[in-house]
Every structure is written in C-alpha cells, then in structure tokens.
C-alpha cells in the first residue's frame, strides 16, 4: 500500500488532486476557527480575553511536535528502506515545523507577559521548545550542507532521530518539573477539561493548521522532486558537452 | 463585543492578542508564498532544461 504512494510520479499526480482540497479546508476551517476564537467564544474567568492567544499558541505547539514526529518517522523510513520520497518528505517538513515552533514560542511569550509577568522563563517546557527550534534549524543547515545530497540526507536523518528524544521531554516537562506553564488540559487521561465553547475553536484551528501543513508540504515535496529532476538533467547536460 | 474600539482593545489585552494573530498570519503566509514560488521557479527551470537538452547542445543559460 505504502509502496504505491512512494512512487514519485504517482505521488505528483495524487498531490495535484489533493492540494486544492487542503487549501480550501485550511481557509474554511481557519475562518470558522478565527471567528469562534476571536469573537464568539467567551473570555476566561481568570485570564480574561488573553485566553484567545490559546487558539493560535496551542495548535502551533501541537504542530511543532507533530511535524517533528513526522520528520522522525520519514527519516527512519528513509534510512531503513531507502525510500527517496521519505527523505524528500522529511526535508520538506522541516521549514514548516520550524515556523510552527517559532510561532508557539512567540505567541507563548505574548501570553506569558500579561499572565506570568514575564516574556520568558528558563523552565523545562520553554527551554525544551527552544531546543526543538534549534533541532529544526540544525537539520535544515545539515541537510543542505553537502554537495552530495545523499550524504546530507543521511547525516541529517540521524540528527532528527537522535533529537526525537526531545519530543516526550516537551510533552511531559510540565509534569516532571516545576514550571509556570500550565499542564495539559486537552490531551490527557480522562478527556479534555476545558469547556466546549473554547474546545471547538481550539480544535478547528488545530485542524486548519494540520491542513495548512499538508497543503504546504505537498507544494514543497513537488518542488523538491522537480529539483531532483533538475539536478539529474544538469548532470546529463554536463556529460553531453 | 460590538464597537471597533472594543474589538481592538480586547479587554485590555489587545496589545498581546493582535500581534499573536498577526505574526502567525504573516509567518504562515510567507511560508506558503515562498514554497509556491520555489515550485514555480523549479518548474520553469526544468522546462527550460528539457527544451535545451532536446535542442543541439548550444550554450544556453537557464
């Protein structure tokens, strides 16, 4: 089943069909999420309107970890089974994941100032998220650092897999260490503990971020596959002349 | 929440909420546009290369 989609030519055909669906889903889900999050949902009884930052902060942080986990799976598949499309997917995911990580840190900082009284604190959750950003940036630098793309891919795949240890550390950091950051209130044992009026915009925005990721991922994978074709065509041209 | 002023003010938290949403929108849009531009550029380059390899190997810059 996976092999059927791992063929780049077939993938390109499927991608061009799926891409507009992802684009429209992002616009519609994002529009609904923004309306509910900014205008329709109630202010928090403790945090007031500042709670509205949650609707971009939490989905960005979820996506930051989701993208990294996807990259780790793709890197493992690329290393073990040598699927060229897996390596391409990992490389295409990295900049999107880095954007989400930056956004979670940035919006978290803007939420922290009014609620905690500080833009930044060196506690486990914030620091491990910053480490995640550096892992993304390190991967992007490494994968592009070699003239021979296969060497860059191999080295950077190993970096992603070693760095994956950081993902459970981020997730459980709020339970393992003392922190200003609140513990999980959606993804936890016993179900979410936030009201439906706030859960809906949160889930809509999370879905919109997910479809955005898939949309941009497809664009980047297509660009990457064509980039590989360009490299091969240029090599052929050099051999001819 | 009805007047524009109230929407901008957001109960005193507007200065924190609007930059959060604004920067998120800008970053995601820039990522999308940069990716689309990459794709367009690569498509054009490949097409030009295909044309030039089919012709005689005349010096042609892409």
Residue A120 in 3-state DSSP? coil
Q: Which of A241, A225, A8, A226 is nearest to B53 (CA)?
A: A241
Q: Which of A69, A61, A59, A62 is nearest to A30 (CA)?
A: A59
pLDDT of B61 over the 70 cut: no
The whole-angstrom separation of Cα B16 and Cα A182 is: 19
For residue B17, the chain A residues in CB contact (below 8 A) are 38, 49-50, 52-53, 110
For residue B52, the chain A residues in CB contact (below 8 A) are 237
Q: Are A71 and A160 in contact (CB under 8 A)?
A: yes
Say whether residue A204 is in contact with chain B using an 8 A CB cutoff.
no
Q: Are A166 and A131 in contact (CB under 8 A)?
A: yes
For residue B3, the chain A residues in CB contact (below 8 A) are none
From B28, B36, B50, residue closest to A212, measured CB to CB: B28
Structure ipTM: 0.89
pLDDT tens per residue across all 241 residues of chain A? 455 556 778 888 889 899 999 999 999 999 999 999 888 888 888 888 889 999 999 999 999 999 999 999 999 999 999 888 999 999 999 999 999 999 999 999 999 889 888 898 898 899 999 999 999 999 999 999 988 888 889 999 999 999 999 999 988 888 888 777 887 777 777 777 788 888 999 999 999 999 999 999 999 999 999 998 898 888 888 887 6
Q: What is the DSSP string of B7-61?
A: HHHGGGTHHHHHHHHHHHHHHHHHHHHHHHHHHHHHHHHHHHHHHHHHS-S----
Cross-chain residue pair B16–A212, CB shorter than 8 Å: no
**Residue that is written with structure tokens 């664009």 in the block:** A219
What is the per-residue pLDDT for A1? Answer: 46
Q: How far is CA A61 from each of CA A23, A99, A133, A176, rounded to the nearest angstrom?
A: 21, 10, 11, 19
What are B's interface residues with A at a Cβ cutoff of 8 A? 1, 7, 10-13, 16-17, 19-21, 23-24, 27-28, 31-32, 35-36, 38-39, 42-43, 45-46, 49-50, 52-53, 57
If one counts every other C-beta atom within 10 angstroms of the C-beta of residue B33, the result is: 10
b/e burial code for range A66-80 (CB count within 10 A of at least 16 → b): bbbebbbbbbbbbbe
């Amino acid at each position: 089943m996976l092999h059927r989609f791992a063929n780049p030519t077939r993938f390109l055909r499927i991608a061009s069909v799926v891409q507009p669906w992802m684009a429209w889903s992002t616009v519609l889900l994002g529009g609904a999420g923004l309306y509910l999050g900014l205008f329709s949902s109630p202010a928090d009884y403790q945090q007031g309107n500042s709670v509205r930052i949650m609707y971009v902060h939490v989905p960005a942080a979820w996506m930051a970890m989701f993208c990294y986990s996807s990259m780790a799976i793709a890197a493992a598949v690329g290393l073990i089974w040598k699927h060229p499309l897996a390596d391409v997917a990992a490389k295409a995911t990295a900049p999107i994941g880095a954007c989400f990580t930056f956004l979670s840190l940035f919006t978290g900082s803007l939420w922290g100032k009014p609620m905690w009284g500080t833009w930044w604190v060196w506690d486990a959750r914030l620091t491990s998220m910053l480490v995640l950003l550096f892992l993304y940036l390190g991967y992007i630098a490494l994968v592009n650092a070699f003239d021979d793309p296969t060497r860059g891919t191999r080295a950077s795949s190993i970096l992603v897999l070693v760095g994956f240890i950081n993902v459970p550390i981020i997730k459980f950091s709020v339970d393992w260490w003392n922190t200003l950051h609140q513990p999980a209130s959606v993804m936890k044992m016993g179900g979410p503990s936030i009201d439906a009026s706030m859960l809906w915009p949160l889930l809509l925005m999370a879905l919109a971020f997910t479809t955005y990721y898939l949309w941009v991922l497809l664009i980047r994978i297509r660009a990457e596959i064509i980039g590989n074709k360009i490299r091969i065509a240029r090599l052929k041209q050099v051999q001819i002349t | 929440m009805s007047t524009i002023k109230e929407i901008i003010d957001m109960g005193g938290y507007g200065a924190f909420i609007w930059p959060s949403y604004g920067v998120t929108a800008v970053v995601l849009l820039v990522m999308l546009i940069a990716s689309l531009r990459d794709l367009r550029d690569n498509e054009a380059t490949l097409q030009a290369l295909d044309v030039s390899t089919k012709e005689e190997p005349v010096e042609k810059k892409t």
